[in-house]
Chains A and B, each alone.
Chain A
């Protein structure tokens, strides 16, 4: 049995890779979004590797310098190179997004599946209420609460708090998809062909899970990006770590706009928008790709 599960996990990953390959080839929107994001990430990594110093160190350079040859995007009011911060901040934001999205998708998918598949008391009273509660809890007040309780919020606290909320939506999605799948005749026929419950879950339902999880993952990343930035803009973010949201926060705190320091405020905003649009394109592409209509063209 253990060998079965292992084998099926391998199949799962292989199917995942094959799907990603397929959608890249077939769907323009996804392709554009994906390539943009990958390019951005690669450039940022390259830049950070080339810089010999820590971009977050205050006072390294002359502050408030407009873009020049030595500082492509100038410097901010704390004497930091804006371009270096942009690259590091983007990477940090991405890391947080990936961690939170991974956690949320896996935990959410697991809980959603259990709730949907086994139903009964477990589903109705335990999990469903929990899921719905988390979906409806207003996130911001809770995050503010957490931020105020912890003296020195750092990036991991931020990631952790976001994780608390990240699993609820995927859980709901996967739950409703499991329920509709359970009703399909082929699940019942699997039982009539001699398969037991565990085998049915692994062989008949898991392949569908791949699709659900991929769709949910991109959404989760998008959500995390937005929420993280929102939290940071409100001043609840980690003051010593650089993320996209924090750059914007500092720029606003130092009234960059009125002081004419456009090179501090606009680049992170533009970067944010570009990332957002790319992720959204990926999301749209995925929706198109996963639509049953795609089967027609096969």
Chain B
């Protein structure tokens, strides 16, 4: 029996145009394709730096912006064509958690609303007692006490507490898929573990899948099953997270891995990175986008854009691995 993936991203491309007379085109995403399976919950990491297009991808999946080309299918249906009740269902099943917890909460309304609104709008509870029960259970799930958050305004909570309220909200909604856009990058390091552990718990026990978007490889490793590495709008490597991190194939992934600082003063960066290599100076019309900064570049890389190919259980877009 053919199973339909939960989410299918097919050849999504996004081009931003700016300027009235002299139009400038920016290629934010180029030909992105991947699936999220339906049969089991998984956490897919999308690793990218700023300018990689990862936020654009999140917005396209959440229907905030439209792709220039390509499609997104949720449970087989084109999401751009959803409306009315089907659209409401979509928002119940595909939800999100964002980077800045303080921007995610209305500063003029109490925390209670964040949790009550989905219960009421999605008809999750039938009585007031049930409402209370659900809220209590959700707060318990994220290790927050009732009196710690209820009746308070967002600015009275710390970033870590507020983000956990956002997770409690997700527990109430129980979506199939959550787009998590840098959920811990604005949280203090010592409070991140709680949030990451909760995300992991949701996947294991509540069967909620996540698309975990980040620039931080270390937190990605902790929660992700699979990973996609984005570089300037294109996928350069995709595969099981553990394997990619154990043995990164694409030179960009290798560069990322090497540049993550380790909290161990005996394990410092050995080779200095050439400062000129920090920025891409030339935008090639043809050829590999990483050409400028790649230590293994060849003439072929300059002229021919590498395609995503299957290499031993994962996909890599690099001429080093392929005919």
Contacts and interface: CB of A to CB of B under 8 A. Distances in A.
Interface of A: 184-186, 188-195, 203-204, 207-208, 295, 298
B96 A207 contact: no
A195 B121 CA distance: 7
B155 A298 contact: yes
Contacts of A184: 103
Contacts of A186: 103-106
Interface in B41-74: 62, 64
B303 interface: no
Interface of B: 62, 64, 88, 91-92, 95-96, 98, 100, 103-109, 113-114, 117-118, 120-122, 153, 155-156, 166, 169, 173
A193 B169 contact: yes
Nearest to B103: A185
Contact of A185 (B98, B120, B153): B98
A188 B179 CA distance: 13
A192 B107 contact: no
B106 A204 contact: yes
A193 B88 CA distance: 9
A186 to B, nearest CB: 5
B88 A194 contact: yes
Contacts of B113: 203
A73 B92 CA distance: 72
A225 to B, nearest CB: 30
B125 to A, nearest CB: 13
Nearest to B120: A194
A208 B108 contact: yes
A interface: dominant SS: helix
Question: Which of A188, A192, A207 has the most CB atoms of chain B within a 10 A radius of its CB?
Answer: A192
A191 B92 CA distance: 10
A207 B108 contact: yes
Ranked 9 nearest A-B pairs via Cβ: A194-B121, A207-B108, A193-B118, A185-B104, A185-B98, A193-B117, A185-B103, A295-B155, A186-B106
Contacts of B114: 189, 193
Contact of A194 (B98, B104, B117): B117
A190 B98 CA distance: 13
A194 B103 contact: no
B64 A188 contact: yes
B91 A192 contact: yes
Contacts of B108: 207-208
B111 to A, nearest CB: 12
A192 B103 contact: no
Nearest to A190: B117
Contacts of A185: 98, 100, 103-104
Nearest to A194: B121
A1 B200 CA distance: 41
Contacts of A203: 109, 113
A44 B46 CA distance: 69
Contact of B156 (A189, A191, A298): A298
Contacts of A298: 153, 155-156
7 contacts: A185-B104, A186-B104, A189-B98, A189-B166, A192-B91, A192-B95, A204-B109
Contacts of B169: 189, 193
Nearest to B104: A185
Contacts of A207: 106, 108-109
A186 B100 CA distance: 10
Contact of A192 (B96, B106, B109, B153): B96
Given A186-B103, A193-B114, A194-B91, 10 more contacts: A184-B103, A185-B98, A186-B104, A190-B117, A192-B95, A192-B96, A193-B117, A194-B122, A295-B107, A298-B153
A190 to B, nearest CB: 7
Contacts of A295: 107, 155
A186 B118 CA distance: 13
Contacts of B121: 193-195
B118 A194 contact: yes
Question: Which of A189, A191, A203 has the most CB atoms of chain B within a 10 A radius of its CB?
Answer: A189
A193 B94 CA distance: 11
Contacts of A192: 62, 91, 95-96
Contacts of A194: 88, 91-92, 117-118, 120-122
A195 B64 CA distance: 16
Contacts of B105: 186
A193 B115 CA distance: 9
Question: Which of B105, B108, B120 has the most CB atoms of chain A within a 10 A radius of its CB?
Answer: B108
Nearest to A187: B106
A191 B91 contact: yes
Contacts of A191: 91
Contacts of B91: 191-192, 194
Given A185-B103, A186-B103, A298-B156, A193 B96 contact: no
Given A194-B88, A204-B109, A295-B155, A189 B122 contact: no
